[in-house]
Amino acid sequence: MYQIIKSALTAVFICMLGVCLVGTVYGRDLPEIKKNGIIRHIGVPYANFVTGSGDGMDVELIQLFADHIGVRYEYVKASWGSVIGDLTGKKVKAMGDDIKILGDVPVKGDLIANGLTVLAWRKKIVDYSTPTFPTQVWMVARADSGMHPINPSNNIENDIIMVKSKLMGLSLLGKEKTCLDPKLYQIEEAGAKIKLFSFGLNELAPAIINGEAEATLLDVPDALIALNKWPGKIKVIGPVSASQEMGVGFAKTSILLKAEFNRFLDKCKSDGTYLGLVQKYYPAVFDYYPEFFK
């Protein structure tokens, strides 16, 4: 009898431990966040989503969300290589549209918001909010490059083909574990010489200006910023992807949190707060994606 009871207690203990561990392995949900009084925002400094200076479109959005749920805001800096693990507690490797879990890592935050493009492999491990931003991946070359921008057709796929036709032998920068991972767009198959960039996405445009490669992949927000920062130094050749979307990433277990965020985002869109943030950080995007922002 004693042994039974002992075993039962052990089991309960293990379960509890497991629950705790689950809590640490997986992101917290809304009740725990409210109980603790703090929400941790995982963000990779990228474009104007997370500028790295304490502001950015996603930074302000999550700060407003923290106020909305009545908790304190905390920023957790991450990198593209660690961002998924910081949220989910799992170190993963993208394998096409699938993933391979390489191990466990500590959970550092409750959500990811830094212009996180919705990708198939990410969806396997992360849940996305309602889309927060439109995007697309373009190929951007140095201005004096021999490559000439395509004449757009009204068909995106044709445009992609035309771009890819220019890739043969071209040195192209990309970045793994991001939306600019060349593997996602079969760039290598198109004959381009892939160079995986180890620095931040914000450094890609300066890298090709400095001659590290002839071209680079850039998503639209980043490209708009780069065109503004280095006018006449770079040029957009054309798209390598169809239209994409960005959203806020949540752990699979943070169901309530995601739901609350979606409600919050709807409210921001309806009262003009969201558009104000977009106008502030990406004023040019309205011309490119008027339908998205209607």
Partner 1 sequence: MKGQKRNMKIGRQAASVTAGGILLFFLAFLLVVNYRSQIKLQKTSLSQLVQTLDKQATIISYFYLERKIDLNNLARARPINIFFENKALGMSMAYGLKASLVQVGKQFDALIKEKKISKTPVYERIVFIDTSGNLLVDRRHGSDCHDCTLFWKDFLTPKESKAIVLPHRANQHIDVLVSTPYFFKGQFKGQVIAWVNTGSFSQTLMKAGNSQKRIFIDFGKDDTGFFFPEPGSLPIHQIQAAKIMEPFRFKLQDLEAGSLDFFAVRIPISETSFFMVTTLPVSDVIGYAKSSYLLIAMLVLAVIVIGAAALLWNMNARELVLQTRLEEEGLRKNEIEAKNIQLEAHIQIKNQLEQTLKESEEKFRNMSLAAQDAIIMIDNNGCISFWNQAAADIFGYSYTEAMNQIYYTIMLPPEYNQKRHQKEYEKFRKTGKGDLIGKTVELVVKRKTGDHFPAEISMSAIKLGGKWNIIGIIRDISVRKENEAELEKHRENLELLVKERTKELEQAQKELINKAIDSGRAQLSTMILHNIGNAITPVSINTEKLKNNDFKKTNQYLLECYNDLTKQKDNLTEYVTKNTRGIQVSKYMGSLIESLESQRFQIDTITDKIAAGIEYVAQILSLQSAYASGKKETKEKVNLNLLVEDALKIQESTILKKNIVLEKSLLSGISRLLTDKNKLMQVIINLIKNSCDAIDENPRVKTDEKAHMISVSTYQAGGKIGLKLSDTGCGVEKERLKEIFDFGISSKGSSGFGLYYCKSFIETASGTLTLESQGAGKGSTVFVEFPVTCGNQQSKRCLSS
Q: Which of 169, 287, 291, 294 binds partner 1 (CB under 8 A)?
A: 287
CB 37 within 8 A of CB 72: yes
> Judged by CB, which is closer to partner 1: 93, or 148?
148
Residue 228 lies near partner 1 (rule: CB under 8 A): yes
Among 34, 68, 235, 269, binds partner 1 (CB under 8 A): 235
Smallest distance, partner 1 to C-beta of residue 205, A: 12
Q: Does residue 30 belong to the site contacting partner 1 (CB under 8 A)?
A: no
Say how far apart CA 144 and CA 73 lie, in whole Å.
45
Closest approach of partner 1 to the CB of residue 156, in Å: 10
Residue 145: CB minimum distance to partner 1, A: 9
Task: Select from 35, 123, 148, 263 the one that contacts partner 1 (CB under 8 A).
Answer: 148
Q: For partner 1, which stretch binds (CB under 8 A), given 29-37, 99-107, 143-151, 192-200?
A: 143-151
Separation CA 235–CA 49 (nearest Å):
22
Segment contacting partner 1 (CB under 8 A): 26-34, 93-101, 232-240, 263-271? Answer: 232-240
Judged by DSSP in three states, 280 sits in: helix
78 exposed, middle or buried (CB, 10 Å; 0-12, 13-18, 19+)?
Answer: buried
Cα–Cα dist 183/55, whole Å: 31
Instruction: Check binding of 23 to partner 1 (CB under 8 A).
Output: no
**Nearest distance from C-beta of residue 163 to partner 1, angstroms:** 9
Euclidean distance between CA atoms 269 and 145, whole angstroms: 41
DSSP string, 185-245: GTTGGGT-EEEE--S-GGGHHHHHHTTS-SEEEEEHHHHHHHHHHSTTTEEEEEESS--EE
Summarize as ranges the residues that interact with partner 1 (CB under 8 A).
138, 140, 143, 148-152, 159, 223-224, 227-228, 231-232, 235-239, 283-284, 287-288
